[in-house]
């Protein structure tokens, strides 16, 4: 089978130095599984999952320990090791929710529920989706969107895209996967085609991942499924973004506020495809993942297969040759600094950068925007960062929405090119949060206006009822208000004369 090479679809993006090895990689290394693992309950885009085990309970490897919350897009979570639950507690701010701490008893006993599915390609889509959900499979490209939801779109999906475009510098784990387990990726693609009822799958790989392309081509030829083909895309960052990849492959743009399913396309990460294969054909739920450890404090960049819940410190210990002063979870462009070294690896962790001051350049002092416009052509989402910055700083939520703040994918291209050194991505993240917060407040305001209206109606009715009651009580009374003075005078005179009469009647003691 041959591959197709696509040209660039626009002028967006940056050509960055990849900082990774694209030749044949050695097999992924294992890291010693630590004594204690911390599973974050918030490992997907939606609400935190709910623990289904209690402290003290013993668990087997692959046992379900949490289920998705009813609201929002959550996922099932499984124990990465056999052992027992030490505690279920609130996590740190970075954890974003509660955590389950599990003590490893090193027995590696597997839970009996972890069974493969026989004849997966003859099963109904619904059955496969339920298995995928129960296996805790979420999007491993970084967004952690529950896969069974993505595989259940409106009918009319024609194309499945397997995203092997690992564009961010340093991150190399999908490269490892495509070289080591190409058959797993293709098998996962076949299962997903069965679920979606689609008849075309494209495996997209970056041009410079030369050995990975060869491995995938060979595997695809062996598999001989005419529905699946390999397509090579130019290595521009952030070409691996879902919408950017679709634009490169098909020339179509996903409409603002729309989904890829609107174009009849579903896009899944290559790691997700392999995870689906492991689950369906081997019965393994998602309890481990490949990640890259790189940076100048590690001996050489290498890929590791790591259990979910392994603390970052365990990896640093295993790999660092000098102590890092800065640890980044993620790649060079979108990575987030790790503040707590006990922070565990989650399903989203694709890379750890161990850095010290020799690798870091100091942050430039921010200077005012000079309207050079360098940021405009590089934005892959078609936003004008210069105008969006203006409306963000003056807190104009309506204008920010119109300028496309919600389309921003946080890729960091705009602040990479800004000559004034403005941290645009951080401001756009704040802008998106503000828009979301305003949306929540507007919903609340609409609800409260109705409650207030109800409150006021009841209050006015109560006051009116009180007035009516008083009127009814005093209805028979003579209205003394018009001739009050003479009537009052007469009454007072009568009282006085009564009192005088009584006092005079009283016999002195």
Partner 1 sequence: MTELILIIIGTVLVNNLVLTRFLGLCPFVGASTSIEAAFGMSAATTFVLTLTSALAWLLNTWLLEPFELGYLRLICFILVIAGTVQFTEIFIRSTQPMLHQMLGIFLPLITTNCAVLGVALLITQEPTRFIDAVAYGLGGGLGFGLVIVLFAGLRERLQAADVPGPFRGSAIALVTAGFMALAFMGFAGLTGT
Partner 2 sequence: MMSSNWLLLIPLATAIAGLLVYARLRYAPDEATAVDTINALLPQTQCAQCGYPGCRPYAEALVNDAAAINLCPPGGETTQQALSKLLGRPAGNLTDSDPWAVAVINEADCIGCALCLPACPVDAIIGANRYTHTVVEADCTGCELCLPACPVDCISISRSTQAPFAITPPPKPGPSA
* 503, containing H or E segment: helix 484-505
With a CB cutoff of 8 Å and minimum separation 6, the contacts of 251 are 9
CB of 398 to partner 1, least distance (A): 12
- Number of shown-chain residues binding partner 1 (CB under 8 A): 6
Binding at 443: pick from partner 2, partner 1, none (beta carbon under 5-8 Å per type): none
273 vs 403 by CB, closer to partner 1: 403
113 and 120 Cβ atoms separated by less than 8 Å: no
Helix (H, G, I), strand (E, B) or coil at 280: helix
**What's the gap between Cα 327 and its chain centre?**
21
Q: Which of 154, 336, 363, 394 binds partner 1 (CB under 8 A)?
A: 394
360 vs 370 by CB, closer to partner 1: 370
With a CB cutoff of 8 Å and minimum separation 6, the contacts of 194 are 120, 121, 123, 125, 128
Q: Does 156 bind partner 2 (CB under 8 A)?
A: no
Q: Which of 177, 351, 389, 409 binds partner 2 (CB under 8 A)?
A: 389
Give, as ranges, the residues between 410 and 429 that touch partner 2 (CB under 8 A). Answer: 420, 422, 426-427
Q: Which of 104, 147, 272, 431 binds partner 2 (CB under 8 A)?
A: 431
Helix (H, G, I), strand (E, B) or coil at 298: strand
359 vs 369 by CB, closer to partner 2: 369
Query: How many Å apart are CA 33 and CA 481, to the nearest integer?
Result: 93
368 vs 476 by CB, closer to partner 1: 368
Q: Does 394 bind partner 2 (CB under 8 A)?
A: yes
User: Near partner 1 by CB under 8 A, which window of 61-69, 386-394, 420-428, 443-451?
Assistant: 386-394
Q: Does 397 bind partner 1 (CB under 8 A)?
A: no
Binding at 310: pick from partner 1, partner 2, none (beta carbon under 5-8 Å per type): none
Give, as ranges, the residues between 254 and 273 that touch partner 1 (CB under 8 A). Answer: none
As to burial, measured by CB atoms within 10 angstroms (0-12 exposed, 13-18 middle, 19+ buried), residue 172 is buried
Q: Which residue has the tokens 């997903």?
A: 192
Q: Pick from 491, 353, 281, 408: which is nearest to 12 by CA?
A: 408
56 vs 368 by CB, closer to partner 1: 368
Q: Pick from 107, 97, 83: which is nearest to 40 by CA?
A: 97
**What's the gap between Cα 24 and its chain centre?**
32
Query: How many Å apart are CA 429 and CA 295, to the nearest integer?
Result: 26
Strand partners, 100: 39, 88
82 vs 418 by CB, closer to partner 2: 418
Q: Which of 8, 106, 222, 398 binds partner 2 (CB under 8 A)?
A: 398
In what order do the strands lie in the sheet containing 58-59? 36-40, 98-104, 83-90, 58-59
* Largest distance between two CA atoms of the chain: 131
Q: Does 369 bind partner 1 (CB under 8 A)?
A: yes
User: Near partner 1 by CB under 8 A, which window of 103-111, 265-273, 390-398, 481-489?
Assistant: 390-398
Binding at 47: pick from partner 1, partner 2, none (beta carbon under 5-8 Å per type): none
Q: Which of 158, 222, 256, 459 binds partner 2 (CB under 8 A)?
A: 459
Q: Pick from 295, 125, 95: which is nearest to 197 by CA?
A: 125
Binding at 28: pick from partner 1, partner 2, none (beta carbon under 5-8 Å per type): none
Q: Pick from 275, 339, 287, 289: which is nearest to 312 by CA?
A: 339
Q: Does 466 bind partner 2 (CB under 8 A)?
A: no
CB of 437 to partner 2, least distance (A): 6
Q: Does 451 bind partner 2 (CB under 8 A)?
A: yes
Q: Where are the beta strands (DSSP E) in 91-143?
A: 98-104
What string marks each residue from 346 to 385 as x (binds partner 2 by CB under 8 A) or -?
-------------------xxxxx----------------
Query: How many Å apart are CA 162 and CA 188, to the nearest integer?
Result: 9
Binding at 490: pick from partner 2, partner 1, none (beta carbon under 5-8 Å per type): none
Q: Does 402 bind partner 2 (CB under 8 A)?
A: no
Distances (CA, A) of 360 to 295, 320, 328: 10, 17, 12
Q: Does 440 bind partner 2 (CB under 8 A)?
A: yes
Q: Which residue has the tokens 């690992």?
A: 166
Helix (H, G, I), strand (E, B) or coil at 218: helix
Q: Does 365 bind partner 1 (CB under 8 A)?
A: no
Q: Pick from 306, 341, 344, 310: which is nearest to 323 by CA?
A: 341
Q: Does 368 bind partner 1 (CB under 8 A)?
A: yes
Which positions lie near partner 2, rule CB under 8 A?
365-369, 389, 392-398, 420, 422, 426-427, 430-431, 433-434, 436-438, 440-441, 444-449, 451-452, 454-455, 459
Which positions lie near partner 1, rule CB under 8 A?
368-369, 390-391, 393-394
């Amino acid at each position: 089978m041959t591959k197709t090479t696509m040209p660039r679809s626009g002028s967006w993006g940056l050509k960055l130095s990849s900082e990774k090895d694209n030749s044949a990689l050695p097999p992924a290394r294992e890291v010693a599984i630590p004594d204690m693992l911390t599973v974050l309950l918030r490992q997907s885009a939606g609400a935190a999952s709910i623990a289904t085990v209690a402290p003290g309970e013993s668990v087997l490897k692959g046992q379900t320990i949490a289920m998705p919350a009813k609201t929002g897009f959550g996922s099932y979570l499984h124990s990465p090791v056999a052992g027992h639950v030490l505690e279920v507690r609130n996590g740190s701010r970075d954890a974003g929710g509660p955590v389950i701490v599990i003590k490893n008893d090193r027995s590696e006993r597997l839970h009996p529920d972890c069974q493969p599915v026989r004849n997966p390609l003859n099963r109904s889509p619904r059955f496969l989706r339920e298995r995928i959900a129960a296996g805790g499979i979420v999007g491993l490209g970084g967004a952690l969107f529950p896969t069974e939801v993505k595989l259940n779109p409106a009918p009319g999906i024609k194309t499945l895209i397997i995203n092997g475009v690992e564009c961010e510098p340093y991150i190399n784990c999908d490269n490892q996967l495509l070289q080591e387990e190409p058959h797993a990726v293709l098998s996962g693609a076949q299962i997903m085609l069965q679920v979606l009822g689609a008849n075309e799958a494209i495996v997209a790989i970056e041009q410079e991942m030369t050995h990975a392309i060869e491995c995938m081509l060979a595997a695809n030829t062996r598999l001989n499924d005419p529905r699946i083909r390999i397509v090579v895309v130019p290595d521009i960052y952030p070409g691996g973004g879902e919408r950017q990849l679709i634009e490169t492959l098909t020339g179509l743009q996903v409409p603002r506020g729309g989904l890829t399913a609107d174009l009849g396309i579903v896009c899944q990460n290559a790691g997700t495809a392999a995870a689906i294969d492991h689950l369906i054909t081997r019965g393994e739920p998602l309890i481990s993942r490949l990640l890259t450890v790189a940076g100048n404090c590690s001996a050489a960049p290498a890929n590791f297969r790591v259990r979910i819940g392994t603390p970052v410190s365990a990896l640093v210990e295993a790999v660092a040759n000098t102590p890092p002063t800065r640890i980044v979870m993620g790649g060079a462009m979108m990575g987030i600094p790790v503040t707590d070294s006990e922070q565990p690896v989650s399903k989203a962790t694709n890379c750890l950068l161990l850095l010290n001051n020799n690798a870091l350049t100091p942050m430039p002092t921010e200077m005012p925007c000079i309207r050079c416009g360098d940021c405009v052509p590089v934005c892959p989402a078609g936003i004008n960062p210069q105008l969006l910055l203006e409306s963000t700083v003056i807190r104009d939520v309506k204008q920010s929405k119109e300028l496309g703040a919600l389309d921003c994918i946080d890729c960091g291209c705009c602040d990479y090119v800004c000559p004034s050194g403005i941290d645009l991505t951080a401001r756009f993240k704040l802008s998106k949060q503000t828009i979301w917060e305003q949306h929540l407040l507007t919903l609340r305001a609409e609800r409260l206006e109705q409650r207030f209206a109800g409150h006021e109606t009841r209050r006015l009715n109560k006051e009116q009822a009180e007035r009516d009651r008083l009127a009814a009580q005093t209805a028979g009374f003579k209205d003394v208000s018009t001739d009050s003075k003479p009537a009052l005078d007469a009454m007072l005179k009568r009282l006085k004369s009564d009192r005088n009469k009584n006092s005079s009647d009283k016999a002195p003691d």
